[in-house]
Amino acid sequence: MAMFEFICPRCHRACTVGPLGTCQNILDSGRACDFEFAIEMEDGNRTYKVKYLKHTNPPAGMPADGAYSWVANSGEYAINQQHLLMSDSLYLDPKNNYLFLWATPSGAQPIAKVIYADQGTVQSASGVIMPLNSKPQNLHHHYGNHEPYFQKISESSNLRVELRQGGSGEYRVYEGNTLIYTYDPVAQSGRQI
Ligand SMILES: [Zn+2]
């Protein structure tokens, strides 16, 4: 299960938070900060709610570009979000220039649909993809299929990812305390340690 390190958007200090945990930093009031990743729609901020609604409803028409994916059942989105945060599968998408968590909650069975603007086609998807290029409070997923250009970074059950701060710097990926990989999205270069 992956742990994430980042500057907490609520208490503005360094924290380590897992999928089921909360920021344990103690505030001036003496209480814990308790920031946690959004899973249910109502737990999320405005950005998360917009993404949640987007990915639980079919598009109004053909998207202008890229791909648009959605699940038929709104509750599934939260279940997939939680499942994905607990995923140990970390990949690089060099085409879209981000690291992401990957999961296939129902194996090869389709769980969502994707519409591709460039092909004008609708396809089934079995995979859940959470790009790690969002702010921690905005982390959310979309659906897709495994692409040949995906690069596996780690499937360690002891995964720890340092998220980038303020749009600069690089991601650092650890297995336990061992640094295994870094990725700099500005230079678009990854390095296996
Ligand atoms: Zn905090």
Instruction: Render pLDDT for 16-66 as a digit per residue (tens, 0 to 9).
Output: 999 889 999 999 999 999 999 999 999 999 999 999 999 999 998 888 888
103-124 mean pLDDT = 94
CA of 113 to the centre of ligand 1 (A): 36
What single-letter DSSP state applies at residue 165? B
Q: How confident is the model at residue 167 (pLDDT cuts 50, 70, 90)?
A: low
Write the CB contacts of 100 (distance below 8 Å, at least 6 apart in sequence). 90, 91, 92, 93, 129, 130, 131, 132
CA of 131 to the centre of ligand 1 (A): 22
Question: Cα dist. 110→8, 14, 125, 150, 172 in Å?
Answer: 35, 38, 5, 19, 32
CA of 95 to the centre of ligand 1 (A): 33
Q: Is 127 a residue whose pLDDT tops 70? A: yes
pLDDT of residue 152: 97
CA of 144 to the centre of ligand 1 (A): 32
Q: How confident is the model at residue 166 (pLDDT cuts 50, 70, 90)?
A: low
CA of 104 to the centre of ligand 1 (A): 30
pLDDT of residue 20: 83
CA of 96 to the centre of ligand 1 (A): 29
* Residues around the ion ligand 1 (C-beta < 5 A): 8, 10-11, 23, 25, 33, 35
CA of 139 to the centre of ligand 1 (A): 16
Amino acid at 7: I
CA of 18 to the centre of ligand 1 (A): 13
As a whole-number percent, the residues of the chain with pLDDT over 90 amount to 87
CB–CB of 24/36 below 8 Å? no
pLDDT of residue 184: 93
CA of 57 to the centre of ligand 1 (A): 32
Residue 83: both structure tokens together = 């499942």
CA of 173 to the centre of ligand 1 (A): 21
Residue 72, exposed/middle/buried by CB under 10 A (0-12, 13-18, 19+)? exposed
72-95 mean pLDDT = 94
